[in-house]
Every structure is written in C-alpha cells, then in structure tokens.
A and B are shown apart, each in its own frame.
Chain A
Amino acid sequence: MEQAPRLNLSERVIRALGLALLVFGGFFPLVWMLLTSLKTEGELQQFPVQYLPSQPDVANYARVFSEQPFGTFFMNSLIVSVLSTLLCVAVAVPAAYALARLEIRARGLLLTLVVAFSMLPVVSLLVPLFRLMRSAQLLNSYPALILPYAALSLPVAILTLVAFFSAIPRDLESAAMVDGSTRVGAMTRIVLPLSLPGVVTAALLVFVNSWNEFLLALSFNTRLNMRTVSVGVTLYQGEFAFPWPLISAAVVIAVVPIVVLIAVFQKRFVAGLTAGGVKA
C-alpha cells in the first residue's frame, strides 16, 4: 500500500495547510457562485460583503428558466455533448487500435500528425468552418456542433486510447489468435473489454470538452432555441447591467453535469490526463 511518510510535526502542519488551501482554492469560486445565487439583488449591493445570504432564496433559479429558455439550452448541450462523444469514441477506438497494435510503417508520422491536429487554434478555423457549415446548410443544427466537437476532441481521444491499448499485453491477443480467433475477433473480444477504462476516460474527456465549448456554439447556432448552456449563461447580462444573482444561478446549473462527472470519475480523469500528457 501507500508509504507511511515519516513526517515531523511542522511538515504535517504545512501539508495540512497546503491541502486546506488546495481544497479551498478549488472549490471557493464555485461555492461563491452558489452563495451569490441565493441572494437578492439588494443583498448583493452591500459593502462590506455579507458572506451568507440572510434568507436563502431559490427564486433566481426559477428566473433562470423563465427569462431564457435555459431548459432548452441544457437539453441542447446534453444532446450535442453526448452525440459528439459517441461519434468521437466510435471513430477513435478503431484508429487508436490500429495505431497501437497493427504494423503500420507510417505509424510515427501518423501519431505526429494527430498531435499536430490537437494543437490547431479553434478561432483560426472559425470562418472557414462557418462557411462549410453554411454551405452544407447545417447552421443552427446539432451536427453544426457535433461534427467539429468530435473532430476537435479526436486527437486527444486517440492519444489517450493509444496509451491504454499499448498497456495491454500483446500475448493475450496472440493467444486468442493461435486458438483460431481472427484479428478482429481478438480485438473485440479481448482487447476492447480490457481497455474499457480507457474508453470511458476518453469519452469523459470528449464530453467535458464538448460541454465547455463556447466559440463555435456562439457563432454557429445563433437561434435562441439552438443555444447551448455555455453561451446561455452569457445571455442574462444586459448591455450595462449584470444581474449577478441570476447569472450565478445559471452558472451553477450549467456546471452541475461537470461537477457530478468529476466527483464520480475523479480517478479516471486523473488516470486519463496523467497517462500520456494529454491536452486539456
């Protein structure tokens, strides 16, 4: 098991303080939005700041849904993120299997290209992608976001999966093939089940990327009923007014899926991100 660190008292105090700071630093901004969302506009306009809401009020959460079709935004985000995740993983798994397992002469070159694709700046692709989507008559549709989200996350998914596939002993596959299984049979029956954790990790990374994307969603799906939550949260601000309790409530709702995924799959996320130096 874990080493028992022989820390003296001052080291323990420093570590405890550090951990407290880490947890506080990670959670505070979101906790502050949660507290803000329970306050009234009048309560916010006090200085010094009143830290806890005097009468916690969930009215802002109702207003989030009544002032904008936030339920629709949420569903749009869910649909787009789930479908782009499915598409991306479905394309990435065979590609990563080929790169990790088959004898391909251009393997090094292909992996280099995958890395290069992962570094393309999205903002530079904005106009040509916009035109592409327009000429395909896909603006204000789910595929307008699903296709680029799947493509943009594909390099990360492939690199993560290659790392996971490569860690599975080749002998397992060879044994199955000696026993008369075909290469494809060995892949689907032996390698895929063993690499399920890797597939889950890759899927989580794609989902988070898709849920969080802002620029393409802002530019491609401009009809109100096609907006996603990352754009939706910015729609509550007027030109000069920022109704912070309302914005805070929208922010809290928008990050619920992310927070739930992180809490449930924290080990998988850490494993995925530390596996091969994958891009955030």
Chain B
Amino acid sequence: MRTEAGNVRTAPAPRARRRRGGDGLLAALLLAPAVLLLCGVLLFPMLTTFRDSLFVNKLTEPWAGTPFVGLAQYAQMVGDPRFLTALRNTLFFGVLTVGGSFLVGIPMALLAHTPSRVRGLARVALLLPWAMPPVITGLIFAWLFNGQYGVVNDVLVRAGIVGEPLRWLSTPGLAVVAMVVTIVWKTSSFVALIVLGGLQGIPRELTEAADVDGATRVQTFWRVILPLLAPSLAVAFIFRAISAVQVFDIPYTFIQQAPAQGLLETLGVYIYRTSIEFLDFGYAATLSVALFAVSLAVTLVYVRFVRGGEG
C-alpha cells in the first residue's frame, strides 16, 4: 500500500481514504475466523485458569464444594516441596537440554549447509528427530536405555566401558542422563534448522573475502559466521527455552517406565498429575499460572528481541 500511495500522487484524497476504510473492513473480515478460534480455544481457557486458581476444586472431596480462597493456593504452592522440586528439575533439565541442543545442533547445521552428494539424506536425518512424535521418541529411547537388553548397555559393555548393564531408568543419576540425551536428540534438529536458515542468509562474498584474506576456516567461523548468526541463535534459544520449560511428553513416558523417579518430574508432569491423577483442579490451575508466568517471561524477551530487530 505504501508504494501504491506514492505512485498515485494525483489521486484525490477522499478516494484514498475510502480505500483505506475498505481495507479496514476487509482486514476485520479476514482476521475474524482466526481471532474467534484463538479466543475460543486458547484465550478463554487461559482466562478460566486464572479464575480457577482462586477456588478450591477437588473432585476427590466433592462435599467441600468450590469455595473462593483467594491467593491461598498460591501460598500453598510456594511452600510445596514437590512444586519446588519440579520447578528445579524443569530449570535443571532446561539448562542441560537447551545447552546440549546447541552443542549438537550448530555442527549439524554446518554439515547440512555444505553441499554434498548425500544432502537429501542428511536433510531427512536432520528432520526426523524434529518430526517424530515426542511420546514415541520417549518410548524409543526408553527401549534404547533398557536396563537389561538395551543397545546402549550393549555398546558400553562390548567397549569395556562398564562391566555389566547399567539400570539407566531406575538409577536416579543415570535416568537424568538418559532423559537429557533423549531430549537433546529430539530438539537439536530444531536448533540446526533455525541455524541453517541463518547460514543460508549469509552472503557468500563475506566468507570468500575472509578466505582471500587468509583466514583459516576456524577463524572465519568465529569472527565472520558466528556474529552473523547471532539473530538466528537468539531465536532458536528462545523457542528452545520455551519448549524446555513446558516439556511433558518425554518425561511422562520415562516415568511410566520407572515409576518412582521424582527426579524426572517436571512442572508440566506435576500439573498433569495434579489435575488428572489427583483431580485437584484448583491447585492444578495455580500451578498452571506459575507455568504461564515462566513462559511469559521468556516470550517477553522474545518479543522485545524481535521488535528491537525490526525497528
């Protein structure tokens, strides 16, 4: 529209205004279905969650009714050791899996970027972990890390690294390692794809110029490529941080395999259990608001970053 307005300098002002008015109506019509769907299915339930967090609502104690308790459940949450553990687990896993996915994802992107005869195959290998259902990823890795017949144990024993099979999923420390490996496998692809997008946007002349100036490949990477990748890395980081905070499916499947692992309980899993297993809808809503808050904090960083980049 802007270029158009520049072109039709001779057009009378009222006509232009009428056109803009028409645009407004058209825009409203085009946006209405999306707004309706987002508000009905996402915004309304979200607002309900805020309201629910102020009421006690336990399906296991129907005689208690649903009394308004204000912020009492928030006070309960702050003193709830299980919540604090879940929050700590979530942040701990977040740091390890986000860091891990960058360590693996960036080299993956560099490999997928260089032209090669197996590029199509490499692309499929890159996309598979991203596209796999998370719950199925959880199942597959639970089998790879099986304590008796798992292939991970087999490789470790054959290589002489361990004497006998490790009980990965039922030993607390090892269960954490297994879960971090699984999540890193699943999420590195995403980092790699965003970084790949960044790499494709870097003009070839820049790296060639560095080459001509006698820079080594490592120097070119650190001094030329990495700084230019900064925006892609930031976007990948924020989306990874968000999904790390919300992680549910993979810990859920791992806990099914090794039920006693409080160590694997993330905030998402605790909310699920509070609502579906303990049927404590009020407290689940309170926990959900905490998860909203953490997600929102990361979102705000993202929005600020994106808008800062645009402006």
Is the beta-carbon distance between B272 and A215 smaller than 8 angstroms? Answer: yes
Chain A residues numbered 85-126 whose CB sits less than 8 Å from any CB in chain B: 90-92, 94-95, 97-99, 102-104, 108, 110, 112, 115-117, 119-126
From B76-84, B92-100, B150-158, B172-180, the one touching the partner chain is B150-158
Q: Does A255 contact B (CB under 8 A)?
A: yes
| B140-172 residues at the A interface, CB under 8 angstroms | 140-141, 143-144, 146, 148-149, 151, 153-154, 157-158, 165
Q: Kindly list chain A residues whose C-beta atoms are within 8 Å of the C-beta of B144.
A: 29, 32
| Interchain CB contact under 8 A, A122 and B196 | no
A-B contact pairs, 28 of them (CB 8 A): A3-B208, A6-B211, A19-B116, A22-B111, A22-B122, A26-B128, A94-B31, A95-B33, A95-B34, A115-B306, A123-B246, A123-B272, A125-B42, A125-B49, A126-B276, A128-B52, A132-B45, A211-B133, A212-B133, A219-B276, A230-B136, A231-B135, A258-B131, A269-B127, A269-B131, A277-B235, A280-B189, A280-B239
Whether the Cβ atoms of A254 and B120 lie closer than 8 Å is no
Instruction: Mark A234-273 against chain B: 1 for CB-CB distance below 8 A, else 0.
Output: 1001000010100110010011001101110011011001
Asked whether, in the complex, the Cβ of A3 is within 8 Å of the Cβ of B115, the reply is yes
Question: How far apart sit A230 and B248, CA to CA, in the bound complex (Å)?
Answer: 14
A233 touching B139 in the complex, CB below 8 Å, given contacts A123-B272, A126-B272, A280-B243: yes
Q: Among the listed B122, B193, B256, which residue makes an inter-chain contact with A237, where contact means beta carbons less than 8 Å apart? A: B256
A22 touches B196 (CB 8 A): no
Q: Is A180 an interface residue (CB 8 A)?
A: no
| CB-based contact B115/A2 at 8 Å | yes
The answer to whether B23 and A25 have CB atoms under 8 Å apart is no
Are A26 and B197 neighbours in the complex by a CB distance under 8 Å?
Answer: no
B4 within 8 A of A: yes
- Report B266-311 residues with CB < 8 Å from chain A CB: 268, 271-272, 275-276, 281, 284-285, 288-289, 291-292, 295-296, 298-299, 302-303, 306-307
The yes or no answer to A191 lying at the interface (CB within 8 A) is: no
Q: Name A251's closest neighbour in chain B (CB-CB).
A: B136
Q: How large is the interface on A (under 10, 10 to 19, 20 to 34, 35 or more residues)?
A: 35 or more
Residues of A within 8 A of B307 (CB): 108, 112
Closest Cβ of chain B to A241, distance in Å, is 12
Residue numbers in A under 8 Å from B197 (CB-CB)? 273-275, 277
Q: Which of B49, B236, B296 contacts A127 (CB 8 A)?
A: B49
**Other contacts beyond A155-B38, A244-B143: 18, CB < 8 A:** A2-B115, A3-B204, A23-B122, A104-B23, A115-B299, A116-B303, A119-B298, A121-B246, A126-B272, A127-B285, A151-B40, A174-B7, A184-B26, A212-B132, A230-B133, A234-B139, A234-B253, A274-B197
CB nearest neighbor in A for B109: A274
Which residues of chain A have C-beta atoms less than 8 A from B246's C-beta? Answer: 121-123
Q: Is the CB of A132 within 8 A of B44?
A: yes
Q: Which 4 A-B pairs have the closest CB atoms?
A: A274-B197, A26-B125, A124-B288, A128-B45
Question: Which single member of B29, B200, B248 contacts A215 (CB below 8 Å)?
Answer: B248
User: A98 contacts B38, CB within 8 Å?
Assistant: no
Is B13 interfacial (CB 8 A cutoff)? no
Q: Are B143 and A123 in contact (CB under 8 A)?
A: no
Chain A residues, CB < 8 A from B64: none
CB distance from B43 to the nearest CB of A (A): 8
Q: Which residues of B contact A267 (CB under 8 A)?
A: 123
Would you call B257 an interface residue if the criterion is a C-beta within 8 Å of the partner chain's C-beta atoms?
A: yes
Q: Are B139 and A183 in contact (CB under 8 A)?
A: no
Contacts known (A30-B140, A277-B236); A120 close to B41, Cβ less than 8 A: no
- Taking the closest CB of chain A, its distance from the CB of B46, in whole angstroms, is 6
Which A residue's beta carbon lies closest to that of B3? A170
Residues of A within 8 A of B (CB): 2-3, 5-6, 11, 15, 18-19, 22-27, 29-30, 32-33, 36, 44-49, 90-92, 94-95, 97-99, 102-104, 108, 110, 112, 115-117, 119-129, 131-132, 147-148, 150-152, 154-155, 158, 170-171, 174, 183-184, 208, 211-215, 219, 230-231, 233-234, 237, 242, 244, 247-248, 251, 254-255, 258-259, 261-263, 266-267, 269-270, 273-275, 277, 279-280
Does chain A have a CB within 8 A of B10?
A: no
Q: A258-B132, A270-B127, A273-B194 are in contact. Are A117 and B165 (CB under 8 A)?
A: no
Q: How far is the CB of B8 from chain A (nearest CB, A)?
A: 9
Most chain B Cβ neighbours within 10 Å, of A5, A91, A110: A91
Interface presence of B48 (CB below 8 A):
yes
Instruction: Tell me which residues across on chain A come within 8 A of B37, comparing CB atoms.
Output: 91, 147, 150-151, 154
